[in-house]
Structure 1
């Protein structure tokens, strides 16, 4: 492995034609240049220069190294510039995996803030529900993952992941606006025992069963869909009621539905996850910082 300083000095000796001229150009003493060239020749395993009268001539090994020296120095300069850009947050790429309601609320605002303050940072957006989003992070398919958990539902978090709390999201009931309970400010979950239900993602369905069991009934699940817009439309047509996080209400509005907080109060918790070593990556840390800022202004914080 060649020392980059020796390559730079060698390139200057070739350019100027002598050790003394290279020393003046680089601000070195001539003995320092001589020692560096001797060290480079040891690394190469061959002489690089031969004396010809008062001048020097490159050996065959010297000629071969000279053909590569400019490219090596250019690559080193480009690498240094790229590292400076990354550490100073002029550029960088972060792969963010989030669940649908986060991609519709937390993520767009976060990306807008990043675009305004650090336009060189690129975020590649992926979508997946937990726990698959955490598995993708552990497999190295993304750099940051957003996931949620519900009360009473355990979530396995791989040991190599760091969990960063973002917000707590109040659970609400989505009702047809003409429903008698829609006139209340809050709705007791037990009062919905006789309703038909529209359930969401597998984790959301599991939580619905858990919450209803806590107040003494098994919900009659008539429809199941992961599409939040479909849930709202089914409720609007009077086909059932739904338990949804308040975050979903931030981006969904339908004149025929009403969202009301549930009693007893229950919240899902939203976290950002990252591999521990990625916390030291400036662009990743910046994305996490912006996510925390945006989350602090959302419901339930």
Structure 2
């Protein structure tokens, strides 16, 4: 393995034509140059220079190394510049996987903040639901996953991952604007036992059924979809009501749909998950900080 310092000195000796000239150019003493060249020759296992009178001539091995030395130094310089850009957050790539409602709310806000001060940091977006999205981090398919858990329905988190709590997302009920209970600020789940329901993703549906069972009724689920826009459209047409996360309220698109909080409050925990060693990567740590900031701003909204 070559020592980069020795390659740099060798390159200057070849350019300057002698040890003494290279020493002056690099600010070294001539004995220091001599020692470095001897160390490089030991490393390659053969002489690199021949002395002919007062002049130095490259050996065949020296000529071969001289042809590559400039390329080696240029590549090292480019690598150093890229590493500096990454560590100083002028560049970098972070792959973020988020469930749909976080992808439509928390992620865009965080990326907008990121773009102001660190436009060179690029973020690639993926969509996924837990627990599959957690496995993407473990498998190296993404760097950060946003996922949610419900009280009493927490699954085992892979031990390789660190959980970073972001916010509690209060559950709401979406209902047609003309629904009799839409005039209230909050509704009780038990009051809706006779309604037709639209259920969401597998994990949300499991929590919904669990909460209904706790109140002693089995809901009439007329439709099942994990598409938030489809849920809103079905509710708008009066085909059912739906228990949805509060994050969805910020992108309601139907004027005929109203969202009302549950009473007593029911919440899910939204967290970011990342490999422990990735916390030391500057760009990843920065994206996490922005996600924490925008999540904190939403608490209580």
Asked if these proteins are the same fold (TM beyond 0.5), I'd say yes
Q: Deviations over 1:11-42 (max 9, x none)?
A: 01000000001011111100000000000000
The equivalent of 2:98 in structure 1 is: 98
Give matches, 1:34-183, under 5 Å: 34-183=34-183
**For residues 183 and 121 of structure 1, what CA distance do their matches in structure 2 show?**
46
> Segments of 4+ in structure 1 off by > 3 A?
none
**Deviation, structure 1 residue 299:** 4.2
Structure 1 position 297 matched with structure 2 position 297: yes
Do 1:23 and 1:33's aligned partners in 2 also have CA atoms closer than 8 Å? yes
5+ residue gaps, structure 1, are none
Q: Deviations over 1:169-197 (max 9, x none)?
A: 11011111111111111101100010110
**For residues 166 and 131 of structure 1, what CA distance do their matches in structure 2 show?**
17
Do 1:197 and 1:241's aligned partners in 2 also have CA atoms closer than 8 Å? yes
The equivalent of 1:249 in structure 2 is: 249
**For residues 102 and 193 of structure 2, what CA distance do their matches in structure 1 show?**
29
- Is 291-300 or 208-217 further displaced after alignment? 291-300
**Deviation, structure 1 residue 163:** 0.3
Give the 3-state SS of the residue equivalent to 2:298 in structure 1: coil
**Deviation, structure 1 residue 97:** 0.4
Q: Deviations over 1:240-263 (max 9, x none)?
A: 110001110111131111111112
Q: Deviations over 1:46-77 (max 9, x none)?
A: 00000111100000000000000000100111
Q: TM-score, normalised by structure 2?
A: 0.98
5+ residue gaps, structure 2, are none
**For residues 255 and 62 of structure 2, what CA distance do their matches in structure 1 show?**
80
**Deviation, structure 1 residue 264:** 2.0
**For residues 93 and 300 of structure 2, what CA distance do their matches in structure 1 show?**
30
Report the number of matched residues.
301
The equivalent of 1:27 in structure 2 is: 27
